[in-house]
Amino acid sequence: MSTPSPGQPESTPGDPRRWDDALLQRALDRAGDGTWGPVAVLPSTGSTNADAVDQVREGAPEGFTVVAEEQTHGRGRLGRGWISPYGAGLAMSVVLRPVVPDRTWGWVPLIAGIAVVDALADHGVTASLKWPNDVVVDGDARDGSPGPRKLGGLLVERVGAALVVGIGVNVDLTEAELPVPRATSTRLEGADVRREVLVVDALDHLRRRYLRWQLADGDARRSGAAEDYAARCLTLGRAARALLPGGDVVEGVGSALDDDGRLVLRLADGSVRVVSAGDVEHLR
């Protein structure tokens, strides 16, 4: 479990930024077979994904999870940073070893997004998904600019025959600590969330959905993942701008996800463009 680290801020009992090993263990005990394990908690690390990648190379089993109280060099999509101040956010990475066809693995970050949204709902937070990997709250940013407000994100990396699923959620950040006006936290959304319990709830939902997807041989429609993602995805039915790798920009209305989890945009001239990767902005 966790141990104090040099420079760790002082905290008092009851402080939401103080990690509680006993609370984590009680949550794990309640979940029983609902989670994998083990869960390794680090006081501080550069990147939980990098730590998990190292453990994959050492033979870490499926479900092995790294959690950090502080993440100093986390990575988001498109090379962006994801910094988690000490005790204020959830930074975790889970090892998966899928046994379904490689061509279906693109659904893993989408399935993980569903799991995070559903875990947050257990804590009274109404969150949604912005394709492909953002966990968001619907509504304008805090400076009045177009939203949605970003609550968290996911980053999946392949390591040989394994995947590392990185999950970051802003939990106790104050408005002054937000990196950008479009960001938010569970605290700012009015919810009292303990990271120790959120870790277990996210693992519980992820395991159940992941197993259902594997039993369907990676078929997202047969497993229900495609329908469930669409129901939680704000990008569908909204005008959006996709910034594509290479610099191209495409604008249209998100109309569907295809069988591979790619975003189908309907353009103004009635044609469609299938987007497999890129940065998506919602337009008013």
Is residue 138 located within the same domain as residue 264?
no
In a domain, residue 118? The reply is yes
Is residue 45 located within the same domain as residue 178?
yes
The H or E element containing residue 115 is helix 108-122
Is residue 78 located within the same domain as residue 213?
yes
In a domain, residue 8? The reply is no
Residue 80: predicted pLDDT: 57
Residue 14: predicted pLDDT: 64
Is residue 177 located within the same domain as residue 243?
no
Domain boundary among 190, 217, 232: 232
Residue 78 φ/ψ, nearest 5 degrees: 60, 30
Is residue 244 located within the same domain as residue 212?
no
3-state secondary structure of 21: helix
- In sequence order, the β-bridge partners of residue 256 are 264
Tokens of 242: 């996709």
Residue 37: predicted pLDDT: 75
Q: What is the 3-class SS of 119-173, one letter each residue?
A: HHHHCCCCCEEECCCEEEECCCCCCCCCCCEEEEEEEEEEECCEEEEEEEEECCC
Is residue 57 located within the same domain as residue 193?
yes
Say which residues have a Cβ less than 8 Å from residue 38's Cβ, sequence separation at least 6: 64, 65
pLDDT band at 15 (very low <50, low <70, confident <90, very high): confident
Is residue 105 located within the same domain as residue 194?
yes
Q: Is the pLDDT of residue 81 over 70?
A: no
In a domain, residue 223? The reply is yes
Task: Encode pLDDT of 230-264 as tens digits.
Answer: 999 999 999 999 999 888 999 999 999 999 999 99
Is residue 112 located within the same domain as residue 71?
yes
208-230 in b/e form (b: 16+ CB < 10 A) is ebbeebeebebbbeebebbebbb
Is residue 197 located within the same domain as residue 278?
no
Q: Domain count for the chain, please give it.
A: 2
Cβ count near 259 (within 10 Å): 12
- Domain of residue 273, CATH code: 2.30.30.100
pTM (2 d.p.)? 0.91
In a domain, residue 212? The reply is yes
- Domain of residue 37, CATH code: 3.30.930.10
Report the pLDDT averaged over residues 133-138.
97
Q: Give the range among 15-29, 124-138, 151-165 with minimum mean pLDDT.
A: 15-29
In a domain, residue 2? The reply is no
Segments forming the whole domain that contains residue 83: 21-232
Is residue 163 located within the same domain as residue 254?
no
Is residue 227 located within the same domain as residue 254?
no
In a domain, residue 13? The reply is no
User: Are 36 and 65 contacting, i.e. CB atoms less than 8 angstroms apart?
Assistant: yes
